[in-house]
Amino acid sequence: MLLKFKQPVVIVTITLFSLLSVQAQKAFDLSSVNYTNMNNNQLQLLFQEASSNGYNYDDILKAAEAQGLSEEEITKLESRFNLANTRASKNSNVPDQESRLRDTNYDDLNKEKTEGSKTKSDIFGLDVFKGNSLLTFQSNLNIPTPVGYILGSGDKLFIDVYGQSEAYYQIEISPEGTIILENFGPIHLSGLTVKNATKRIENRLSKVYLGIKGDKKNTFVNVSVGKSRTIKVNIVGEVDVPGSYTLSAFNTVYNALYIAGGITENATLRDIKVYRNNKLISKVDIYKYLTEGDASADVALENNDLILVKPYTNRVTLKGAVKTKGRFELLKNESLQDLLNYASGFNEEAYTKTIKVKRVSDGEHIVADINKDQFEIFTPKSGDVFQVDKVLDRYKNRVIVNGAVYRPGVYAITQGLGIKDLLAKTEGLKQDALLTSANIIRTNEDLSTSSISFNLGDVLSGKDQDILLQKEDVVTILSKNEIKQDDYVEVAGAVNQPGVYTYSKGMKVSDLILKAKGFSKNASETRIEI
């Protein structure tokens, strides 16, 4: 317990420094310095005084050795100087007191946290406590004291009185749950929040500091937790490193699961239970946190709490055209629609009218189709595998134009769209376009294809009727530069499909007639001009 007013602090510090300055002048005769009874701050001041006289750290140790100190004493002195220097650096802004930053190594873990596998699991939410991502639940003790934090034995408090009157206290709550301030007597704080504890301390201090109360308050009190007490928490079941852990009382369920290395692949993420004094106080559903941001079940832990992680009971697999694929754990009354919600829904390529399911039944696999109107009433069973297919790779209103046009590519078909209108959309023919022949590849109802050759120049001039296009037609406009005289042959006249065809060595006239789908009805088979 410390009570220091502003002016006395200066006086005490100067007196102590003056005393140590005298000792520092004799520091090189270490046999006369009883350093074992000096606190760490005194050792630090001693070192500073020696430094001001031109001596360094090694000089002090050599002087100690020259005075006949044993090797063990030298080692002890060296260790204490190192410790004093470290603490002095941390506490430079709070003389004779501990730093108000909480030590991040405060948690005395009995077991080392195991590193999680760097391979991401396909189980939704499993990696959240493994430390494999930027999301981490590692303890951070240098945060404002949580609003709901309950004070208890072992908590170290900083009490600041400021304003018209100034004072500072640093005190630890006793095993009986009280603090004892000089001239104020014991104050029971165990079981109170920091806010309520502040009110109780204010009531007691107002007997001396009259400015704390009244209409014209000019003195104020601030209470903060400098170092929280330690608690023992038992973590059992499907965690990587089950056991008993000594933690800061600032830790929550999520922190504890992280410290235990995360949960195993067989663990439930939907029904983690926390017991206190043999009573269930919280049921943790990690999915609520991951999908809704609801961390209300992440309660602060207390001494002897038990965290129980049981195996999962109902896990299914979701594949295909969804935003989050993988294995998901479902509760008893959850539906296929709930599963889709956890997966963030369908992606842009999904066929949403039907989902396929594969299920094990009576020792064999069965498959079923689940229609859209059944999503909310279909109850998945553990082991089910759901498949969301993609839409078909075809279009309702697409035509494609290739070749000697300025803008080849995909165009939307509208009612009555013909060759003339399509070429207008492409901004016209290139100068090298072959006008004597063009081709359309058409997809039939049975998905077979047929080829339609036509005289492009006659269609554009109006001599031949415009050809109406159908969905999935592929129109090819040939280029003169692409056709070589010895590579192509052209057939025109009374054949079923006049046009330009690829020439192959040894080709006969009869072969070309076959490529053109034979003679038309009015053809003269006895007269062919080449």
Residue 249 lies in a domain: yes
Residue 355 lies in a domain: yes
CB 343 within 8 A of CB 380: no
Span of 35-39, 246-250, 501-505 with lowest mean pLDDT: 35-39
| Domain CATH number, residue 451 | 3.10.560.10
pLDDT digits (tens, 9 = 90+) for 343-371: 999 999 999 999 999 999 888 999 999 99
Dihedrals φ, ψ of 375, to 5°? -55, -40
The pLDDT of residue 303 is above 70: yes
Residue 472 lies in a domain: yes
- Pick the last residue of a domain from 388, 418, 433: 388
Do 133 and 258 have their domain in common? yes
- Pick the last residue of a domain from 227, 249, 281: 227
Span of 153-157, 212-216, 254-258, 302-306 with lowest mean pLDDT: 212-216
* Encoded tokens for 182: 């000089």
**Cα 302 from Cα 252, distance rounded (Å):** 9
**Cα 255 from Cα 231, distance rounded (Å):** 13
How many other C-beta atoms are found inside a 10 Å radius of the C-beta of residue 320? Answer: 17
Do 134 and 258 have their domain in common? yes
* Encoded tokens for 50: 């020696």
Average pLDDT, the chain: 81
Residue 524 lies in a domain: yes
* Encoded tokens for 399: 């035509």
Do 271 and 199 have their domain in common? no
Most confident of the ranges 31-40, 456-465, 517-526: 456-465
pLDDT digits (tens, 9 = 90+) for 379-394: 999 999 999 999 988 7
- Pick the last residue of a domain from 452, 467, 483: 483
Residue 100 lies in a domain: no
- Residue 76 CB contacts under 8 Å (≥ 6 apart), including other chains: 36
Do 236 and 135 have their domain in common? yes
Do 282 and 296 have their domain in common? yes
| Angle at the Cα of 44 from the Cα atoms of 38 and 47, rounded to 5 degrees | 105
Q: Tell me the β-bridge partners of 248.
A: 230
CA distances from 488 to 184, 503, 504 (A): 111, 5, 8
Residue range of the domain that includes 255: 126-140+230-309
Do 412 and 281 have their domain in common? no
Do 253 and 366 have their domain in common? no
Do 255 and 135 have their domain in common? yes
Do 345 and 282 have their domain in common? no
DSSP class of residue 411 equals E
Do 479 and 506 have their domain in common? no
The pLDDT of residue 62 is above 50: yes
CB 132 within 8 A of CB 120: yes
Supply the DSSP string of 26-74, one letter for each residue.
TTTSGGG--GGGS-HHHHHHHHHHHHHTT--HHHHHHHHHHTT--HHHH
Residue 344 lies in a domain: yes
Higher per-residue pLDDT: 513 or 460: 460
Residue 109 lies in a domain: no
Model pTM? 0.59
pLDDT digits (tens, 9 = 90+) for 474-490: 999 999 887 655 567 88
Q: For strand 398-403 and strand 409-412, is the pairing parallel, antiparallel, or unpaired?
A: antiparallel
Residue 498 lies in a domain: yes
| Domain CATH number, residue 207 | 3.30.1950
Q: What confidence score (pLDDT) does residue 131 get?
A: 63
Do 248 and 353 have their domain in common? no
Span of 18-27, 161-170, 243-252 with lowest mean pLDDT: 18-27
- Residue 109 CB contacts under 8 Å (≥ 6 apart), including other chains: 245, 246, 247, 259
Q: How many structural domains is the chain composed of?
A: 6
The pLDDT of residue 94 is above 70: no
pLDDT digits (tens, 9 = 90+) for 137-185: 655 556 677 767 889 999 999 999 999 888 889 999 999 999 998 888 8
The pLDDT of residue 31 is above 90: no
Q: What confidence score (pLDDT) does residue 146 get?
A: 72
In this prediction, residue 265 has a pLDDT band, given cuts at 50, 70 and 90, of: very high
Higher per-residue pLDDT: 309 or 95: 309
Do 244 and 132 have their domain in common? yes
DSSP class of residue 297 equals T
pLDDT digits (tens, 9 = 90+) for 496-508: 888 887 777 777 8
